[in-house]
Amino acid sequence: MSLEGIVMLLGGLALFLYGMQVMCRGLEVAAGDRLRSILEKLTSRRWMGVLVGAGITAIIQSSSATTVMVVGFVNSGLMTLTQAVGVIMGANIGTTVTGLLIALDIGLIAPLFAFFGVALGMFSKKQRTVCIGEIMAGLGILFIGMDLMSSAMSPLRDYPPFVNMLSSFSNPLLGILAGAAFTALVQSSSASIGILQALALSGVIGLENAVFVLFGQNIGTCITAVLASLGASRAAKRTTLIHLMFNCIGTVIFTVLCIATPFVPFMETMLPGDVPGQIAATHIVFNIVTTVVLFPFGSVLANIACRILPDAAEKAHTAAFVDEHGIGSTAIFIRQLRNQLAEMYLLAQTNVELSFDALLKHDRSLLEKVTEGEDQIDKLNADIIRRIGRASMHEMSEQDSETLNRLLVLSSNIERIGDHAMNMAEYLLPLEKHHVSLDKITESELNNLKELTTKALREISVTDTERSKETVELVGKLETESDVLSTDYRKAQIYRLRNGESDPELSILYSEMLTDVERMLDHTLNIAEAVYA
**pLDDT digit string, tens, across residues 157-173:** 566 665 566 666 778 88
Task: Tell me which of 58-62, 266-270, 505-509 is least confident.
Answer: 58-62
In one-letter notation, the amino acid at residue 380 is L
Alpha-carbon span 286 to 292, nearest angstrom: 10
Alpha-carbon span 160 to 9, nearest angstrom: 19
Q: What letters, b where the CB count within 10 A reaches 16 and e where it falls short, cover 38-51?
A: ebeebbeebebbbb
The arithmetic mean of pLDDT across residues 109-121, rounded, is: 83
The arithmetic mean of pLDDT across residues 363-392, rounded, is: 90
Contact (Cβ atoms closer than 8 angstroms) between residue 34 and residue 399? yes
Alpha-carbon span 499 to 247, nearest angstrom: 84
E strand or H helix that includes residue 344:
helix 329-360
Alpha-carbon span 71 to 370, nearest angstrom: 37
Q: Return the percentage of the chain with pLDDT > 90, whole number.
A: 24
Task: Tell me the pLDDT tens digit for each residue of 393-419.
Answer: 766 667 777 888 888 899 999 999 999
Alpha-carbon span 2 to 262, nearest angstrom: 39
Name the band, by pLDDT with cuts 50, 70 and 90, for residue 321.
very low
Alpha-carbon span 480 to 521, nearest angstrom: 9
pLDDT at 323 over 50: no
Task: Say what the pLDDT of residue 120 is.
Answer: 83
Task: Say what the pLDDT of residue 199 is.
Answer: 76
Name the band, by pLDDT with cuts 50, 70 and 90, for residue 319.
very low
The arithmetic mean of pLDDT across residues 173-178, rounded, is: 87
Alpha-carbon span 424 to 430, nearest angstrom: 11
Alpha-carbon span 34 to 331, nearest angstrom: 7
Name the band, by pLDDT with cuts 50, 70 and 90, for residue 324.
very low
Residues 43, 46, 48, 53, CA torsion sign: positive
| Non-local CB neighbours of 237 within 8 Å, separated by 6+ positions | 229, 309
Task: Say what the pLDDT of residue 317 is.
Answer: 43
Note the residue count of the chain.
533
Name the band, by pLDDT with cuts 50, 70 and 90, for residue 344.
very high
Which is the CATH superfamily of the domain at 329-532?
A: Phosphate transport system protein phou homolog 2; domain 2 (1.20.58.220)
Range from 268-272, 321-325, 333-337, 445-449 that averages highest in pLDDT: 445-449
Q: Which of 223, 187, 148, 190 has its CA nearest to residue 60?
A: 190
Mean pLDDT score of the chain, rounded to an integer? 81
Q: Could you give the residue range(s) of every CATH 1.20.58.220 domain in the chain? A: 329-532
Task: Say what the pLDDT of residue 522 is.
Answer: 94
CA atoms within 13 A on the CB side of 46: 16
The arithmetic mean of pLDDT across residues 14-30, rounded, is: 71
| Three-state DSSP state, 210 | helix
- Using CB atoms within 10 A of its CB, is residue 124 exposed (0-12), middle (13-18) or buried (19+)? middle
Contact (Cβ atoms closer than 8 angstroms) between residue 356 and residue 424? yes
Alpha-carbon span 466 to 455, nearest angstrom: 20
From its phi and psi, is residue 342 left (phi > 0), alpha (psi between -120 and 50) or beta? alpha
Task: Tell me the pLDDT tens digit for each residue of 218-248.
Answer: 888 787 677 767 666 787 788 888 888 988 9
User: What is this structure's pTM?
Assistant: 0.62
As a whole number of angstroms, the longest Cα–Cα distance in the chain is 109
Task: Tell me the pLDDT tens digit for each residue of 32-72.
Answer: 556 556 665 655 677 787 887 888 777 666 676 677 777 77
Name the band, by pLDDT with cuts 50, 70 and 90, for residue 107.
low
Question: What angle is formed at CA 100 by the lines to CA 95 and CA 104, rounded to 5 degrees?
Answer: 155
pLDDT at 86 over 50: yes
Q: Which of 8, 283, 21, 57 has its CA nearest to residue 139?
A: 21
Name the band, by pLDDT with cuts 50, 70 and 90, for residue 346.
very high
| Three-state DSSP state, 311 | coil
Q: Which of 191, 177, 279, 180 has its CA nearest to residue 220?
A: 180
Contact (Cβ atoms closer than 8 angstroms) between residue 47 and residue 40? no
Q: What letters, b where the CB count within 10 A reaches 16 and e where it falls short, cover 246-277?
A: bbeebbebbbebbeeeebbeebbeebeebbbb
Q: Which residue has the higher pLDDT, 189 or 383?
A: 383
Alpha-carbon span 89 to 92, nearest angstrom: 5
CA atoms within 13 A on the CB side of 293: 14
Name the band, by pLDDT with cuts 50, 70 and 90, for residue 480.
very high
Alpha-carbon span 295 to 290, nearest angstrom: 8
